[in-house]
Amino acid sequence: MPLKKLVAGNWKMHGLSSDLDEVRAIAAAAGEYPSVDVALCVPAILIERAARAVPGFAIGGQDVHHAEKGAHTGCISALMLLDAGASLTIVGHSERREGQRERDQEVKAKAEAALSVGLNVILCVGESLDVREHGGAVDTVGAQLDGSLPAAFDSKAELAIAYEPIWAIGTGKIPTSAEIAEMHLAIRAKLGERYGADGANARILYGGSVKASNAGEIFGIADVDGALVGGASLKAADFIPIVAAAAAVEG
């Protein structure tokens, strides 16, 4: 049985009060595709207003601190995200692994903190262009998973993995279908090794330059259970066709 597809938007550092109308438009249109789960991960300070604007629609954060609370200036805990109305969070995005020097161990702790309060997690992994060109992509992503997968997860919250080749993010370049298939199969195998039968329930998303014109082909690849979408998630006009493509593959 294929898993229900998840199409999650990552607004990154985009979004002001004036963009709440776009959140409303996306949530309303997504409601037309009940065979697809749709979520929007917005800047932290927009979460509460977005969640109030679209009750019942999944609003998420883009990062979370691993500690429950304490002296961590500028950081946000899992409970705070939940309290603000988030139902999920991204962890380990390559822009944080690079920009904030986040290491696998920290990503793992963040994922565990989020899952422990019932937040669904999208955990990102992906290789650089140099690694891809030298043939080390599968090993590199495997090592990232070894270091950053949570020790365990149960039915309280969902764990999804997003395979996001760094060189495909925001560049318009995407791996070949065969490369995506090879990586997703390898990730599926890792999940099985780590979690046994439960590993089969974790959705594996592809991310990096997903848009309406390539979404159908990407969703047709084995073990692609959805997408994490950056630039094309900012406007309903760009994002909803991607949701529609996922629904079309669902049949």
* Catalytic sites, residue numbers: 93, 164
The reply on whether position 164 binds ligand PGA by CB under 6 A is yes
Helix locations, 62-103, DSSP H: 78-84, 94-99
User: Minimal distance in Å, beta carbon 154 to ligand PGA?
Assistant: 26
The reply on whether position 118 binds ligand PGA by CB under 6 A is no
Q: Which is nearer to ligand PGA, 109 or 174 (CB)?
A: 174
Q: Which is nearer to ligand PGA, 170 or 220 (CB)?
A: 170
Q: How far apart, in whole angstroms, are the C-alpha atoms of residue 41 and residue 29? A: 17
Among 159, 169, 180, 240, interactor with ligand PGA by CB under 6 A: 169
Q: How far apart, in whole angstroms, are the C-alpha atoms of residue 59 and residue 41? A: 6
The reply on whether position 228 binds ligand PGA by CB under 6 A is yes
The reply on whether position 38 binds ligand PGA by CB under 6 A is no
User: Minimal distance in Å, beta carbon 227 to ligand PGA?
Assistant: 8
Among 60, 61, 142, 230, interactor with ligand PGA by CB under 6 A: 230
Strand partners, 161: 123, 204
User: Minimal distance in Å, beta carbon 12 to ligand PGA?
Assistant: 7
Tell which residue, 125, 199, 123, has the closest CA to residue 160: 123
Strand partners, 125: 163
86 in Cβ contact with 122 (< 8 Å): no
Q: Which is nearer to ligand PGA, 142 or 208 (CB)?
A: 208
Stretch that binds ligand PGA, among 21-29, 80-88, 139-147, 208-216 (CB under 6 A): 208-216
Q: How far apart, in whole angstroms, are the C-alpha atoms of residue 157 and residue 184? A: 21
Stretch that binds ligand PGA, among 26-34, 71-79, 134-142, 203-211 (CB under 6 A): 203-211
Q: Which residue is nearest to ligand PGA (CB)?
A: 230
Among 5, 6, 7, 10, interactor with ligand PGA by CB under 6 A: 10
Burial track 78-105 (b if 16+ CB lie within 10 A, e otherwise): bbbbbebbbbbbbbbbbbbbeeeebebe
Q: Which is nearer to ligand PGA, 10 or 144 (CB)?
A: 10
Q: Which is nearer to ligand PGA, 238 or 250 (CB)?
A: 238
* All residues at 6 or more sequence positions from 205 whose CB lies less than 8 Å from its CB, including other chains: 6, 8, 122, 160, 161, 162, 163, 224, 225, 226, 227, 228
- Strand intervals (E) in 116-183: 120-125, 159-163
User: Minimal distance in Å, beta carbon 144 to ligand PGA?
Assistant: 15
Residues that bind ligand PGA (CB under 6 A): 10, 164, 169-170, 207-210, 228-232
